[in-house]
Amino acid sequence: SQQGEEDPQALSIQEGENATMNCSYKTSINNLQWYRQNSGRGLVHLILIRSNEREKHSGRLRVTLDTSKKSSSLLITASRAADTASYFCATVGGYSTLTFGKGTMLLVSP
Amino acid sequence: ETGVTQTPRHLVMGMTNKKSLKCEQHLGHNAMYWYKQSAKKPLELMFVYNFKEQTENNSVPSRFSPECPNSSHLFLHLHTLQPEDSALYLCASSRRDRGATNEKLFFGSGTQLSVL
């Protein structure tokens, strides 16, 4: 399975701090995506990084991809209470559909 | 608002009931998906429809029956469910081009299902 696995399972930080979440996967991929989910709601796409890219930025988000280690990280800088949510990585290999990990639950305290 | 609408938001049903979940997308996408999200588990892909044709069925029990009458609408018909089927059911859509691998999914808010 190419399912991503996020680490840590839960992360608690103060507003203004940076939050880093990691994702590891098992097989080769075409791209890796990060999604966010507020409690009891649907997932929202945050950012996509292709297998030939090493780093990507979007606002306060920074994603890295290391295909040799089969891992990715999501960094949220200057976190806010509104960033409190679960974050999922999802991988795509070949023509298959996205497969998701269990997610990292982020709590940002004011 | 993601452009994907799911109804109802909450559903409580007994094990002998028959109910249906509805999903509608206003994004002009051609692929639609059902995912199941249970506590402490990864999202489980249940069904994929591409241009109204079912292209994936991940060994889902027959008590779940999908229907895709057109590219904008997707249903999940439920009958004789078990308590362990209680979960958040998420619908998603995407623009799936032939051979494309960089599609991103747009999710609805989900239906929180409780089976008593």
Q: What is the mean pLDDT of each run of 10 residues along chain A (110 residues)?
A: 77 97 91 92 94 96 96 97 96 75 94
Residues of A in contact with B99 (CB under 8 A): 95
Report the b/e string of A75-88 with b at 16+ CB within 10 A.
ebeebeeebbbbbb
The predicted-structure confidence for B25-62, as pLDDT tens digits, reads as follows 999 998 999 999 998 788 899 999 987 777 777 789 99
Look at residue A1 in the predicted model and tell me its pLDDT: 46
In angstroms, how far is the first alpha carbon of chain B from the final one?
31
Q: Which of A79-88, B67-76, B100-109 has the lowest mean pLDDT?
A: B100-109
Look at residue B99 in the predicted model and tell me its pLDDT: 59
Candidates A97, A99, A100, partner chain B, best to mutate (most B CBs within 10 A)? A97
Q: Do A42 and B108 touch (CB under 8 A)?
A: yes
pLDDT above 60 (res B22): yes
Look at residue B102 in the predicted model and tell me its pLDDT: 63
Look at residue A96 in the predicted model and tell me its pLDDT: 65
pLDDT above 60 (res B81): yes
For chain B, what's the residue count? 116
Please tell me what DSSP assigns to residue B9.
S
The predicted-structure confidence for B2-17, as pLDDT tens digits, reads as follows 799 999 999 999 988 8
Q: Do A41 and B109 touch (CB under 8 A)?
A: yes
